[in-house]
Amino acid sequence: MDEWDARPRARALVWLEWGAVVLLLVGVAAYVIWKPLDPMADPRAAQALALVQTHVGKSAPTIRQAIDAIVKANQKDDRTPVVGNWTVRADEPKGYLVRVVVRLPGDEKHGWVEWEFLWRVRLSPQTVIPLSRPAVEIMP
């Protein structure tokens, strides 16, 4: 046995190790509880997503096509705009929040601008309510 095995570990170090383990477990539990819904796992969430994506846009036939047009218009030679994942979260007993973030190249060489599109969707009656300014601007 060498000298490291013979000495007991400091009590503070043991508490720090257990604290890190507890924080990790709490973080995993929080992610599992509050993570966005998989729209394909919940038919109502999939319906909410479809309502937003196919809703009439101001400058395009649908909201999804309007966002694609924004991405195409902001294409730069050295940087490509990025459309994030569409997420759906339960909002209230009869509603959902649908969100997508679009990352566009800014005017500066390494600058980016992020636009958050956010809608509240009610399934009965079917309504799509824009909650963010970018979402308002692409809807009639």
Handedness of CA 63, 112, 38, 90 (dihedral sign): negative
Q: Measured in Å, how far apart are the chain's first and last C-alpha atoms?
A: 77
Quick one: average pLDDT of 36-65? 88
The pTM (predicted TM-score) of the whole model is 0.70
Residue 52: what pLDDT?
Answer: 97
Domain ranges of the chain: 1-35, 37-137
Domain 37-137 has CATH 1.10.3470: no
The mean of the pLDDT values for the chain is 88
Half-sphere exposure of residue 111, counting CA atoms within 13 Å on the CB side? 5
Tokens of 108: 């500066």
Kindly state the average pLDDT of the residues 110-127: 93
**Which carries the bigger pLDDT value, residue 35 or residue 6?**
35
Q: What is the pLDDT of residues 2-27, one digit of tens each?
A: 555 656 778 888 899 999 999 999 98
pLDDT score of 37:
59
pLDDT tens digits, 72-97: 999 887 888 999 999 999 887 779 99
